[in-house]
Structure 1
Amino acid sequence: MKSRFLKTRLLNKNSSFPNRIIVLTGARQTGKTTLARHCFPSYAYLSIEDPVLRIQYKNLTAAQWHNFYPRAILDEVQKEPVLIESIKSVYDQYEDVYYLLLGSSQLLLLKKVKESLAGRCIIEEIMPLTLPEILTHKWQEDPKFSWYQQFLTTGEIPPFLSSFELYPDYAARMEAFQYYLINGGYPALVNKNMNDGERFEWLKDYVRTYLERDLRDLVELRSLEPFVRIQKITALLTGQLINYSQLGKEAGVTSKTAQRFLQYLEISYQTILLQPWTRNKIKRLIKTPKLHYLDPGVQRAILQKRGDPDGNEYESTVVGEIYKQTKVLHFNGSFYHLRTHDGAETDLLLEKENGFLAFEIKMTEHAGKKEARHL
């Protein structure tokens, strides 16, 4: 079992008042349940997905929660949002209760959380495995910061050897990266007993489950077909600018519907949209965004595609990894893409409190000054 950066944060935050309620959100199969149960093995585990048990939990009074479940993990809590009110009531009446609320839909869950648990909880997001997490060998092993994470946390550029190949773990790093390019970072796939064909079948099942369950948790659609068309078109367009009018035209829906469907993909942790950076913050909201699928395995499964990635897919893979490595640090910054009037482009721009970090991403064996000319 791979270790997670979030493990240390959860254990530290749950040890002191007032963080007696932790809300953990993330896409299905990113490891929320596994992480929670390993961090807090003594907590009762309550699956809200079971409709019969859901009714029982819904009818518990605050006193009964305190007596029967003073410390508990509530999984898929977005399926019964009224339970959040129950947890609020217990929290307000008793000081010795601790709860973890797990959910797959950030819109439904976080809206209710912000309404009911404001000031009473801390919120954490879990995403597919980062490369440092893939490189771990067991749960007890803490993931090591990447060079990028070291720079963000210390402000100092880590020393580089004259050749990356001199690093003792160079082979392991390259193997992990090649694995990630093809399969992505979902924890269930990091199983030595699975081959790439079996991993691909798992990813296709994941995409089907997303449409049948996760999306239905988020919104009721009269027909899935228009959304599926948008999903496939955006998977083809990963790493590219998105024009809502053109996207809607190709999918046979209005531009507003296309924009709404993209919001569903984003709030269900499937994609990220990078707004263009400009000095005028209002213009950032109306200019053309750039879309990236967060996980390369899912993006390729949507397209039923195997083999090596193309340049745009490679860019999305790297952007997604940088995004995840930044998020686990709780770093205060915002991501954009940058395109000048004369066509010069920077693939990724991180705006920090004291400056910027710019990234140029190229799928090439040898990167030189030519590739970095826009930085």
Structure 2
Amino acid sequence: MTSSASPRHIIDRKVRPLVETALDDTRVVLIVGPRQAGKTTLARQLSGDDRPYITLDDAGALGAARADPVGFVRGLDRAIIDEVQRVPELMLAIKESVDQNEEPGRFLLTGSANIATVPAIADSLAGRMATISLLPFAQSEIRSTPGRLLDRLFAGEDPVAGKETVFGDELIALVLRGGYPEVLRRTTASRRSAWLEDYVAQILDRDVRDIANIDQLDRLPRLLEVLAEHSGQLVNHSSFGAALGLSSVTAQKYVAILERLFLVRTLVPWSSNRLSRLIKTPKLHFLDSGLLATMREDEADVLGEDRTRFGALLESFVVSELLKLASWSERRVSFSHYRTKDQDEVDVVIEDRRGRVIGIEVKASATVRPQDFRGLRQLQEAVGDRFVRGLVLHDHDRVTPFGEKLQAAPLSILWSM
């Protein structure tokens, strides 16, 4: 199956069953994710005569909601409200409504900013709202493959390469495209980049105003460019701020805003009482590799020759794919990264509620050496029996064992399993 989406073909979203189940037993369901990731398409599929669709991108609906949030909600028995972050005051009105009528499935909300992280909103709807993430297309959604890698690894299965591995130039092309539906509909790199540039400009011009009051809005585009060159590296707010004439505190605030808008994601450092030389700094990634490539002006021919530059792009791609797999996984997992002061590292540490750990290292090269497992071996020793698997994902088509519970595997297992 090709890795591009037809404009008329609706790709099944793997979180849809989770949304439907939540609507059966929870009063409010919130789908959060970046703009143009497919939230509206999914929400409309769940609309009907008994659950009308309302978007706050409509000027009339937006004005009515802002003028009288309580009255706006009072007239609704069940509804889908799209882009609810544009009127945060609606959340308190929704709380009042669902406290009076506790039937499940009353409100399906979507948000292009993670308003569920705002303490006042999270507290007001605690116990009343289920939050489900919807990111741009995962490769397993595009290719209609199971997308059960995390569940299968935690169940103790060995990695399997699959029949249709992707590597070399095809892998570079896939990473450059990313997962935004509108990007996948465009057949040339220039058209994809043009859409992504417009997309970023619109988000930074409009959506930031909905969730934050900042004085130097004009600095955000340049900040995003700076972050793009630091993707896959440790967060350094002082360095980010210095490049723009901002204080470290202000830079930290602005990065947090970009994270709430689902443009970037930071991975917290993994910690253990058994290891004392761990770096305690988060690591920065972009949530879409196509967007990151556009911000960095990366091109396929250059990345084919400069594997170091491709490596940073590839790592963010893998992190994004893993987050997507986790969004519909049967298990609740957390993500972090491992790095010591001696520069030994594991790019992604995935831990389930039982404390069991999977470590994933990403390499852009086709060749994997024993020393590439140094960080994974340290992690394995630190967690002992809780260590489930250590993988080096790389540009290859075969699985190669490197020790007990340690393998090098093709990147394509992210969607082939």
**Does TM, normalized by the shorter one, top 0.5?**
yes
Q: In 1, Cα distance between the equivalents of 2:130 and 2:169?
A: 36
Query: Which of 171, 182, 198 matches 2:176?
Result: 182
Aligned partner of 2:364 in structure 1 is 363
Deviations 1:172-200 (A, max 9, x none): x9998554301111122232x63332222
Query: Per the alignment, in what secondary structure is the counterpart of residue 326 of structure 1?
Result: helix
Task: Output the amino acid matched with 2:179.
Answer: G
Q: Secondary structure at the match of 2:80?
A: strand
Residue aligned with 1:23, SS: strand
Alignment of 1:266-345 (within 5 A): 266-279=259-272, 287-307=280-300, 308=303, 310-329=310-329, 331-345=331-345
Shift in Å, 1:87: 2.4
Aligned to 2:387: none
Q: Distance in 2 between matches of 1:244 and 1:59?
A: 40
Alignment counterpart, residue 203 of structure 1, candidates 196, 201, 208: 196
Residue 135 of structure 2 corresponds to residue 134 of structure 1: no
| Equivalent in the alignment of 2:97 | 90
- Residue in structure 2 matching 1:8, options 8, 12, 17: 17
Q: Give the superposition deviation at 1:106.
A: 1.0
Q: Which residue identity is paired with 2:19?
A: L
Deviates more, 1:19-28 or 1:95-104: 95-104
Alpha-carbon distance between aligned partners in 2 of 1:65 and 1:190, rounded to the nearest angstrom: 37
User: Which amino acid counterpart does residue 100 of structure 1 have in structure 2?
Assistant: L
> Tell me, what secondary structure is at the counterpart of 1:251?
coil
Cα 1:261/1:3, change in 2 over 3 Å: same
Measured at CA, do residues 360 and 65 of structure 1 come closer, stay the same or move farther in structure 2, by a change above 3 Å?
closer
Judged with a 3 Å threshold, the aligned counterparts in structure 2 of structure 1 residues 72 and 364 are, in CA distance, closer, same or farther, namely: same
Unaligned runs of 5+ in 1: 137-142
Q: Is contact 1:207-1:302 (8 Å) kept?
A: no
Distance between the aligned counterparts of 2:102 and 2:83, measured in 1? 24
1:33 has 2:40 as partner: yes
Q: 1:357 and 1:69 mapped to 2: Cα distance?
A: 45
- Provide the residue aligned with 1:147 in structure 2: 149
CA deviation map 1:110-138 (0-9, x unaligned)? 545324322222111111111111113xx
**Is 2:56–2:84's contact at 8 Å kept on the other side of the alignment?**
yes
TM norm structure 2: 0.76
TM-score (structure 1 length as normaliser): 0.84
CA distance in 1, matches of 2:362, 2:216: 38
Give the CA RMSD over aligned residues: 3.0
Aligned to 1:252: 245
Q: 1:132–1:145: 8 Å Cα contact kept in structure 2?
A: yes
One-letter amino acid of the counterpart of residue 346, structure 2: T
| 8 A Cα contact 2:151 2:330, kept in partner | no
Instruction: Identify which range, 1-10 or 51-60, moves more after superposition.
Output: 51-60
Larger RCO (CA within 8 A; separation ≥ 6): 2
SS in 1 for 2:243: helix
Query: Match of 1:202, as an amino acid?
Result: W
For residue 372 of structure 2, give the secondary structure of its aligned residue in structure 1.
coil
Inter-partner Cα distance in structure 1 for 2:213 and 2:348:
34
Q: Deviation of residue 324 (structure 1)?
A: 2.3
Match of 1:229, SS state, is: helix
Q: Which runs of 4+ in 1 moved over 6 A?
A: 173-176, 283-286
Partner of 1:139: none
Alignment-mate amino acid for residue 146 of structure 2: K
Report if the CA contact (8 A) 1:207-1:301 is conserved: no
CA deviation map 1:215-272 (0-9, x unaligned): 2222223333332222111100101122222222222211111111111121211111
Deviation at 1:13, TM superposition (A): 2.1
Q: Look up the SS of the partner of 2:362 in the other structure.
A: coil
- The structure 2 residue matched to 1:230, chosen from 214, 217, 223, is 223
CA distance in 2, matches of 1:362, 1:303: 19
CA gap of 1:330–1:264, structure 2 versus 1, over 3 A, is farther
The equivalent residue for 2:86 is: 79
Residues 1:365 and 1:110: Cα distance change in structure 2 (over 3 Å): same
Q: CA 1:93 to 1:297, structure 2 compared with 1: closer, same or farther past 3 Å?
A: same
Return the alpha-carbon distance in structure 2 between the equivalents of residues 190 and 226 of structure 1: 29
Offset from partner CA, 1:257-315 (integer Å, 9 cap, x none) = 1111111121211111122222259x999932211111111112223433336221112
